[in-house]
Chains A and B, each alone.
Chain A
């Protein structure tokens, strides 16, 4: 049975975690994720979960202990933001290479420095190549839905990879919205129990995990990981379909908004997509054929879907909420541009770095991007690389 509730993003994540009822959570507080840890502590204190909650002394240990717990065959989770993510960066790679199906909410916040507590995507981008699957949410509903699906994706026998579930700090994490939550039994039946092939608490068949892997086999183990990431796309689609059948809420690798006849489009991640949809509706009333491609799965990258969604457009703006100091736009820009390379006819593609350190992204901000795209279509000059709204 569904329940409609007014929840903040953090409350929605914590609620999903309560329903998942992981065997172990090892976590460390950091703004803006803190509330998740606090709420979950209350669930533990009130006996609402079976979880062993390990209050570690750092994020590095949070991920390290989560790795230990997952390697021991348990369902293990943690959650973090920004500097916490940066601090656990080393062990993110180890979690993925050990093929541990850890699920982690990442409440996106700008990386220092200078220090800033507000939203951007530099934390998640920093883990882009770590071998984690990355899901992204536009709002608290999607964060909730993604987190639950993430358990199934991570633990699927064709995948066995960790999954990071992104949610914009403050904008979603602290914003209250009406959303639907499923009942506990529905969630528990959906996620089932973890069935690890190998684990450390099987005394009859001891294993060695994390050996020294040299020139002769390291490459083969990396290929296994790459193959699992490639296979995960189909698994994500399959589980999304199952989720839709169960809840009526539909997901895919990406979401196309008014793209069927769009001439200009924005590609983006996270909460900005909601703002873009409103801008599109207004522009459409004025006869502007604007659309949006919202990326839900950033890793593995939905290259074919993107090419298919954008091939017929004339101009595309790719929005990156993080600088990557490449002097060639953000990571999403470069991935989208590369995805279009094989198309027979390609739209003009320009980059916008935007919203850094929580800089507000308003309807006007987005409308300005579509105006730039319209000028580009008319043959006017628009730079390829833009920093949207910065005082320069």
Chain B
């Protein structure tokens, strides 16, 4: 029973762990859901107060935070729901939703 970490699409019964067990925790982040979006969030750094409300409400863990600061949005994963924009508490929104180019 091969405990191969990454499972190829055409892997055989002998090559994959038994019982559908997935041994690569969190590998869904490699699955790109970013192409679902119809609107793109854009972070406007000068308005941002780093309150991290966008981060705590993002359903897709797409808000990137480093050392307690909002540093960007992972657009490969972001589905464009707009929640981050909606919950952003700054007077002039620090995340705006734009139509893709």
Give yes or no for direct A-B contact (beta carbon below 8 Å).
Answer: yes
In the complex the two chains form, is B19's CB within 8 Å of A220's CB?
A: no
5 more A-B contacts (CB under 8 A) besides A197-B1, A211-B22, A221-B18? A197-B3, A198-B23, A208-B21, A217-B20, A224-B19
Q: Which residue of B lies closest to A98 (CB)?
A: B19
In the complex the two chains form, is B21's CB within 8 Å of A220's CB?
A: no
* Interchain pairs with CB closer than 8 A, number: 52
**A: which residues have CB within 8 A of B?**
97-99, 160, 197-198, 205-211, 213, 216-217, 220-221, 223-224, 227-228
Main secondary structure of the interface of B (DSSP, over half): loop
Counting CB contacts under 8 A, is B16 at the interface? yes
Partner among A207, A220, A228 whose Cβ is within 8 Å of the Cβ of B12 = A220
CA gap between A386 and B16 in the complex, in Å: 47
In the complex the two chains form, is A220's CB within 8 Å of B18's CB?
A: no
In the complex the two chains form, is B19's CB within 8 Å of A99's CB?
A: yes
In the complex the two chains form, is A206's CB within 8 Å of B20's CB?
A: no
CA gap between A223 and B14 in the complex, in Å: 9
* B3 partner residues in chain A, CB cutoff 8 A: 197
CA gap between A223 and B16 in the complex, in Å: 11
* A228 partner residues in chain B, CB cutoff 8 A: 18
Counting CB contacts under 8 A, is B92 at the interface? no
* B22 partner residues in chain A, CB cutoff 8 A: 207-208, 211
* A217 partner residues in chain B, CB cutoff 8 A: 7, 11, 16, 20
Partner among B9, B18, B20, B23 whose Cβ is within 8 Å of the Cβ of A160 = B18
In the complex the two chains form, is A207's CB within 8 Å of B20's CB?
A: no
Q: Which residue of A lies closest to B10 (CB)?
A: A216
A-B pairs with beta carbons under 8 Å apart, 12 shown: A97-B19, A97-B20, A197-B1, A205-B25, A207-B23, A207-B25, A208-B22, A217-B7, A221-B13, A221-B20, A224-B13, A224-B19
Counting CB contacts under 8 A, is B17 at the interface? yes
What is the number of residues of chain B that contact chain A, defined by CB distance less than 8 Å?
A: 17
CA gap between A69 and B7 in the complex, in Å: 27
In the complex the two chains form, is A213's CB within 8 Å of B20's CB?
A: yes
* B23 partner residues in chain A, CB cutoff 8 A: 198, 205, 207
* A197 partner residues in chain B, CB cutoff 8 A: 1, 3, 18
* B7 partner residues in chain A, CB cutoff 8 A: 217
Partner among A198, A216, A227 whose Cβ is within 8 Å of the Cβ of B21 = A198
* A221 partner residues in chain B, CB cutoff 8 A: 13, 16, 18-20
* A98 partner residues in chain B, CB cutoff 8 A: 19-20
B22 CB to closest chain A CB, in angstroms? Answer: 4
List residues 42-98 of chain B with CB under 8 A from any CB of chain A.
Answer: none
B18 CB to closest chain A CB, in angstroms? Answer: 5
* A198 partner residues in chain B, CB cutoff 8 A: 17, 21, 23
In the complex the two chains form, is A210's CB within 8 Å of B18's CB?
A: no
Taking each of B11, B12, B14, B22, which has the highest tally of chain A beta carbons within 10 Å of its own beta carbon?
B22
CA gap between A221 and B12 in the complex, in Å: 9
The 7 tightest CB contacts between A and B, nearest first, are A208-B22, A220-B13, A99-B19, A223-B13, A206-B25, A213-B20, A99-B18
* A206 partner residues in chain B, CB cutoff 8 A: 25
B56 CB to closest chain A CB, in angstroms? Answer: 23
CA gap between A97 and B19 in the complex, in Å: 6
In the complex the two chains form, is B1's CB within 8 Å of A211's CB?
A: no
